């Protein structure tokens, strides 16, 4: 196991779910940032690197820095959808190692439930897709799911296993939006949005945000809580429009995962907890394949019989994921927070037993951007 020499010293969620009227995305972003600084035992004024994105702010690093009253010397507002924050982390590690900043904040906030998804994430028209009225993003993921079912015999019941597993984890997370029991039959009988995906194959629409603070591992020794090492990362962009994705059943996670594993000197078999961006059930299934947890086409078999639910063979999306815990539109930040909290042993009822390596995978657009991060406890 190798390390990048950079560690996470603070993480925090903002308030999640449904915000009071006229709460802004930067309100939540800054709330999470302040909580993450407190978690790290540092003051906000020590932050000299700012990485931020949300679909609701044109210039997120500016909005956040003004709100926090800081003047960062390094910043990055990359927005590639829900994987943005894994990408920010990769860029922050490189900036910290190059000495371009010493304390890096990554932050996200969204009020998409309060203001509606259409208002929070307006899409630029695509002349060659929009007139056919895909319901985006769900129709794009539905096209991938249909193709996966066609090629590999994957079933709706297998996809439903993923939604049910997420709900079982969410039942143990007091912050999860939806904690009520969900059965496979309910998933199968729910209203189809874009076949083969039903309502319960789709992520939540909530408000929420999060923040994460990084510094070099030598400085991390001063942090108030256990520092968690960044072991590796990988990033990949494959397309923007679903009609330009080369093969809908194989994502760029193959590339981002390989890069992350190689940097860390690890493989899928070393991962104790996997947080896989579950915008839709098909995402979890394909990322299990593409990140090497099972062969291509075997994701359906892998998740059957509660294998990724509590007590199963691999703990996946232990916070309840985008399907049942929280999905403010760009969920990747919250996935990284869960990975860190699992390694710290801070997850209460849903805590996995003594994990050493956690993987957080981010997805953005319509399977378009894929970024993978490996976190670990250095021995």
Binding region for another protein (CB under 8 A): 127-129, 131-135, 139, 142-144, 146-147, 150, 191-196, 241-244, 248
* Residue 256 or 281 having the CB closest to another protein: 281
* Residue 19 or 139 having the CB closest to another protein: 139
User: Residue 173 has which token pair?
Assistant: 């997370």
Half-sphere CA count of 148, side-chain side, radius 13 A? 33
Question: Smallest distance, Å, CB 171 to another protein?
Answer: 29
* Residue 22 or 124 having the CB closest to another protein: 124
Q: In the block, which residue shows the tokens 């940032």? A: 33
Question: Smallest distance, Å, CB 204 to another protein?
Answer: 18
Question: Smallest distance, Å, CB 130 to another protein?
Answer: 9
* Residue 58 or 133 having the CB closest to another protein: 133
Q: Which of 311, 279, 340, 286 is nearest to 121 (CA)?
A: 279
* Residue 49 or 196 having the CB closest to another protein: 196
Q: Dihedral of CA 102/107/238/258: which sign?
A: positive
Nearest-Å Rg of the Cα atoms of the chain is: 19
* Residue 43 or 195 having the CB closest to another protein: 195
Question: Smallest distance, Å, CB 124 to another protein?
Answer: 13
Q: In the block, which residue shows the tokens 């190689």? A: 262
Question: Smallest distance, Å, CB 239 to another protein?
Answer: 11
Question: Smallest distance, Å, CB 159 to another protein?
Answer: 14
Q: Which residues, in sequence order, are bridge partners of residue 74? A: 49
SS3 212: strand
CB–CB of 343/228 below 8 Å?
A: yes
User: Residue 308 has which token pair?
Assistant: 């990724």
Question: Smallest distance, Å, CB 284 to another protein?
Answer: 19
* Residue 76 or 289 having the CB closest to another protein: 289
SS3 102: coil
C-alpha 148/C-alpha 159 separation (Å) is 11
What are the two backbone dihedrals, phi and then psi, of residue 122, each rounded to the nearest 5 degrees? -65, 140
Strand 208-216 and strand 49-52: pairing? Answer: unpaired
Contacts 24+ apart (CB under 8 A), 44-47: 44/68, 44/69, 44/70, 45/69, 45/70, 46/102, 46/103, 47/72, 47/103, 47/104, 47/105, 47/213
* Residue 110 or 198 having the CB closest to another protein: 198
C-alpha 307/C-alpha 335 separation (Å) is 20
CB–CB of 285/162 below 8 Å?
A: yes
* Residue 7 or 154 having the CB closest to another protein: 154
Question: Smallest distance, Å, CB 294 to another protein?
Answer: 22
Question: Smallest distance, Å, CB 337 to another protein?
Answer: 33
């Amino acid at each position: 196991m190798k390390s990048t020499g950079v560690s996470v010293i603070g993480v925090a969620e903002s308030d999640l779910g449904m915000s009071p009227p006229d709460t802004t995305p930067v309100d939540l972003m800054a709330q999470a940032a302040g909580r993450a600084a407190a978690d790290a035992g540092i003051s906000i004024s020590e932050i000299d690197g700012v990485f931020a994105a949300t679909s609701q702010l044109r210039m997120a690093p500016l909005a956040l820095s003004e709100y926090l009253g800081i003047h960062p010397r390094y910043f990055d507002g990359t927005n590639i959808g829900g994987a943005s924050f894994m990408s920010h982390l990769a860029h922050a590690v490189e900036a910290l190692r190059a000495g371009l900043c010493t304390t890096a904040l990554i932050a996200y906030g969204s009020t998409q439930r309060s203001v509606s998804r259409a208002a929070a994430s307006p899409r630029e028209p695509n002349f060659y897709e929009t007139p056919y009225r895909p319901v985006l993003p769900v129709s794009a993921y539905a096209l991938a799911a249909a193709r996966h079912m066609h090629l590999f015999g994957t079933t709706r019941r297998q996809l439903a296993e993923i939604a049910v597993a997420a709900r079982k984890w969410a039942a143990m997370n007091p912050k999860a939006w939806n904690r009520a029991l969900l059965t496979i039959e309910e998933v199968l009988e729910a209203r189809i949005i874009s076949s083969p995906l039903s309502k319960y194959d789709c992520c939540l629409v909530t408000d929420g945000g999060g923040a994460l603070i990084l510094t070099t591992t030598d400085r991390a020794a001063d942090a108030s809580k256990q520092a968690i090492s960044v072991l590796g990362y990988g990033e990949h962009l494959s397309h923007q429009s679903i009609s330009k994705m080369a093969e809908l059943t194989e994502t760029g996670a193959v590339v981002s995962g390989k890069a992350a594993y190689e940097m860390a000197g690890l493989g899928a078999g070393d991962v104790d907890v996997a947080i896989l961006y579950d915008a839709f059930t098909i995402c979890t299934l394909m990322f299990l394949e593409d990140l090497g947890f099972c062969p291509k086409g075997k994701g359906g078999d892998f998740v059957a019989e509660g294998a990724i639910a509590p007590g199963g063979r691999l703990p996946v999306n232990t916070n309840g994921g985008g399907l049942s815990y929280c999905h403010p539109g760009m969920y990747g930040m919250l996935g990284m927070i869960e990975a860190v909290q699992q390694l710290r042993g801070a997850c209460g009822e849903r805590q996995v037993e003594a994990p050493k390596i956690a993987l957080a995978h981010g997805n953005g657009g319509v399977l378009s951007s894929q970024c993978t991060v490996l976190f670990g406890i250095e021995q």
